[in-house]
Structures are given as structure tokens and as C-alpha cells.
């Protein structure tokens, strides 16, 4: 097992190790929780692992309220949040009851948002079940829901009490969900860890074969990179923005596709676009290397079904826009990136058209 602290405005501990799911109650009791708990999950996760978590909590004296949401990006909405509020009110949930986010990125964002806003704040426990959530979204305190078809446009910062990451939960993950996580892992290699990028070039197959020891190492490295960044800039006023590498165009692709394209697929295309923009600006010479790894991971780099002007319009609604300028995270080399807000529209148009 690996464990480390996240030193934020509210610090918390992260645990990474096999079979952690079966020790959830022990960790909750150490934090002082002992009576009621809310589990927010989806149908898929509940069917596979819900009974294990419930049995562990029930045997240790917890009364459980389990709330199941559909396994889709559309669940991350104000409507779903309101339905959960109704459930919490009808079951008279009090401030001391922890909310366990038991699922992937959608569940983590949704449960985090609900826990931050109901009764002005319930304790939050992250128990992520997808590779994307384990390497990225369970760390850092961001919560959000989508609104008016814009991704993550309504949200708050909410740090958890604890993060429990069990790589064994990835054994049942479909390949598309593994790919979603791989996109974020590649991101971490590009923004801050060239040795991780090189490791992926050599051992990508071990991720898709769900080698548990290798996955534990990869998850640990990604979480440490993110924590090191977020500790320096918790509220995303500067450095933390580099974590959005590939996400500016990526989020626009997700929105324009009505979320038919997954987050990982969109971010992979977004990273390719950022690399090509950086190449056109003369600051990046590893476009082919980056795109080769993205293709090895199984991603298709194709925007033929998208309207270029529509993508740019959507980008202007992105949270990272400042003074009406779109911020782009651009690579200078593998392991080093820079933020630019002065990308000529001509270069942006040429880049997106070049991906069609």
C-alpha cells in the first residue's frame, strides 16, 4: 500500500492499494464516523461491487442510504443533483453523514457537488472505480455539474476527508474506460514527467492488461504529480492550469458531440491539437512522438464530423477563458508546458482543420 498527504486548505490522506474497498469502514471510523453514510454510485458499479461495500459498512454498524444514478455523463446535471437532495431530505440526512463517491469521474463530480452544497457541506469520501478517476479526478477538490450543455460550468471546490484508491476495481473496467484514463496518464507525462511518458511508450500493454502492480505504480505517480501542482495553486489561479492540457479543445469536442465522444477520447484529440499549435508556433518538436503514443493507446485523431467555428464558439464559454481570451496549455518538450492566451485564430483554424 502507498499513502501520502495532500496538504491543501483542508488536508487529507490518500491511500492506494489492493483490497482497500474491504477496509472502507475502518478508515471511516478512524475519521470519527460511525453511524450513517450515503453512497452515491451508478448501476454498473453497484452491481459489481456495491454488495462488498455495503456489507463492510453494515458489519461495522453503519446505516446506509444508497443512491444510484444512471451511468452516463448526462447524470452530471442540476436535475440529478436536485433528485439527490430530495433523497437526502426524505431520509433526514444530517451534517455528520459522509457522502461516499463510489464510481468514476461523473459520480465523483456529482457526489462532490452535492456534498459541498447540501446543508452547506457534508463530509466527502472518494472511492474511485475508474482509471480516469483514480489517476486524476479524485484528487484536487474540484466538483461540478454540467448546465445548458456546457461541461463543468457550475461547481465548487470541495476537498474530501480521505481518498481510497483500489486498483483491483479496474479489473472489470471496459477497454473504452481504460482508454479514458490513459489519456490523462499521457497528459501527466507531457506536463511534468518525461520518464512516465517513456514508460508508457514501453509498457502501454500492461495498462490494458490491468497489471495490478503496474497500475498501482502509475496511479501513484499521477496522483503525486497532481498533488504537487495543486498544493502550490489550489484554486487554479496560475500553475494548476497546466492540468488542463488537452482539455480546452477537448471539452469543446465533448460538448459539440453532445457527450457521445468520451472525455478521454476528446482530451486525446485536444492534446494532439495543442501539440500541433505549439509546433506551428515553433516551440515544440515532438509532435510525432506524442501522436504516436496517443495512437498506440488506441485513439483516433479525427475531427471530420465537427464544425470548426462551432468548436471555437464553445471554447469561448470555457472556464479557462480570461478577458475574452482562450487559454491554451502548450508543450515545449515532453515534460514541460507553457500557458498561452494569444494564439492567432488563423493557427487555431488551421490546426483544427488539419485534424479533420
- The reply to whether 214 and 93 lie within a common domain is no
Check if 240 is active-site.
Answer: yes
Do 265 and 124 reside in the same domain of the chain? no
The catalytically annotated residue of 184, 217, 234, 265 is 184
Residues 213 and 296 in one domain: yes
Is 151 annotated in the active site? no
Same domain, 193 and 141: no
- In this structure, are 323 and 248 located in the same domain? yes
pLDDT band at 202 (very low <50, low <70, confident <90, very high): very high
Confirm whether 120 is a catalytic residue.
yes
CATH of the domain at 301: 1.20.1090.10
Same domain, 144 and 271: no
The answer to whether residue 318 scores a pLDDT higher than 80 is: no
Q: Both 218 and 114 in a single domain?
A: no
- Identify whether residues 151 and 188 lie together within a single domain: no
From 144, 172, 200, the end of a domain falls on 172
Q: Report percent pLDDT > 70 for the chain.
A: 100
Q: Of the residues 108, 140, 172, which one is the last residue of a structural domain?
A: 172
Q: Which of 224, 247, 280, 319 is catalytic?
A: 247
Active site residue 201: no
- Residue span of the structural domain in which 309 resides: 180-354
Q: Which of 142, 151, 276, 280 is catalytic?
A: 142
Q: How many domains does the chain have?
A: 2
Q: Which of 120, 202, 345, 346 is catalytic?
A: 120
Residue ending a domain, choose from 172, 205, 221: 172
What pLDDT sits at residue 325? 83
pLDDT tier, 321 (very low <50, low <70, confident <90, very high otherwise): confident
Are 185 and 168 contained in the same domain? no
Claim to verify: residue 48 and residue 95 sit in the same structural domain: yes
Of 323, 339, 187, 324, residue with least CA distance to 278: 339
pLDDT digits (tens, 9 = 90+) for 92-141: 999 999 999 999 999 999 999 999 999 999 999 999 999 999 999 999 99
* C-alpha grid cell, residue 337: 508546458
Q: Check if 276 is active-site.
A: no
Taking the C-alpha atoms of residue 176 and residue 183, their distance in angstroms, rounded to an integer, is 11
Q: pLDDT band for 150, please (50, 70, 90 cuts).
A: confident
The answer for residues whose C-beta is within 8 angstroms of residue 193's C-beta and 6 or more apart is 221, 225, 335
Residue 184: active-site member: yes
Looking at the fold, whether 110 and 92 belong to one and the same domain comes out as yes
Total-model pTM = 0.94
CA distance 260 to 264: 12
- For residue range 235-273, list pLDDT tens digits in order: 999 999 999 999 999 999 999 999 999 999 999 999 999
Predicted pLDDT at 356: 76
Query: What per-residue confidence (pLDDT) applies to 324?
Result: 77
Q: How far apart are CA 317 and CA 322, in angstroms?
A: 10
226 is annotated as an active-site residue: yes
33 pLDDT band, cuts 50/70/90, is very high
Specify the CATH number for the domain of residue 92: 3.40.50.1970
188 and 321: one domain? yes
Q: Which of 54, 231, 236, 291 is catalytic?
A: 236
Amino acid at each position: 500500500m502507498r499513502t501520502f498527504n495532500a496538504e491543501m486548505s483542508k488536508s487529507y490522506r490518500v491511500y492506494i492499494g489492493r483490497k482497500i474497498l474491504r477496509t472502507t469502514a475502518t478508515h471511516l471510523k478512524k475519521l470519527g464516523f460511525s453511524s450513517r453514510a450515503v453512497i452515491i454510485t451508478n448501476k454498473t458499479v453497484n452491481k459489481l461491487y456495491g454488495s462488498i461495500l455495503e456489507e463492510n459498512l453494515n458489519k461495522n454498524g453503519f446505516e446506509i442510504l444508497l443512491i444510484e444514478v444512471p451511468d452516463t455523463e448526462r447524470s452530471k446535471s442540476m436535475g440529478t443533483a436536485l433528485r439527490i437532495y430530495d433523497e437526502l431530505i426524505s431520509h433526514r440526512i444530517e451534517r455528520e453523514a459522509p457522502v461516499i463517491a463510489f464510481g468514476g469521474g461523473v459520480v465523483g463530480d456529482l457526489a462532490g457537488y452535492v456534498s459541498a452544497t447540501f446543508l452547506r457541506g457534508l463530509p466527502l469520501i472518494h472511492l474511485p472505480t475508474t482509471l480516469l478517476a483514480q489517476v486524476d479526478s479524485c484528487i484536487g477538490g474540484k466538483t461540478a455539474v454540467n448546465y445548458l450543455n456546457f461541461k463543468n460550468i457550475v461547481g465548487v471546490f470541495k476537498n474530501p476527508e480521505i481518498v481510497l484508491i483500489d486498483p483491483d476495481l479496474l479489473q472489470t473496467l471496459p477497454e473504452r474506460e481504460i482508454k479514458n484514463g490513459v489519456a490523462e496518464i499521457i497528459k501527466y507525462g507531457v506536463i511534468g514527467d518525461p520518464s512516465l511518458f517513456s514508460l508508457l511508450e514501453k509498457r502501454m500493454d500492461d495498462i490494458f492488461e490491468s497489471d495490478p502492480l503496474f497500475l498501482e505504480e502509475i496511479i501513484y505517480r499521477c496522483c503525486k504529480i497532481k498533488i504537487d501542482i495543486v498544493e502550490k495553486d489550489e484554486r487554479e489561479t496560475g500553475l494548476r492550469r497546466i492540468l488542463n492540457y488537452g482539455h480546452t479543445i477537448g471539452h469543446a469536442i465533448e460538448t459539440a458531440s453532445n457527450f457521445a465522444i468520451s472525455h478521454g477520447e476528446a482530451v486525446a484529440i485536444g492534446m494532439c491539437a495543442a501539440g500541433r499549435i505549439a509546433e506551428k508556433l515553433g516551440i515544440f518538436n515532438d509532435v510525432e512522438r506524442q501522436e504516436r503514443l496517443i495512437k498506440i493507446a488506441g485513439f483516433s485523431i479525427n475531427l471530420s464530423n465537427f464544425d470548426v467555428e462551432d468548436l471555437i464558439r464553445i471554447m469561448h464559454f470555457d472556464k479557462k477563458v480570461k478577458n475574452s481570451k482562450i487559454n491554451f496549455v502548450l508543450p515545449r518538450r515532453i515534460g514541460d508546458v507553457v500557458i498561452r492566451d494569444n494564439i492567432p485564430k488563423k493557427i487555431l483554424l488551421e490546426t483544427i482543420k488539419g485534424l479533420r
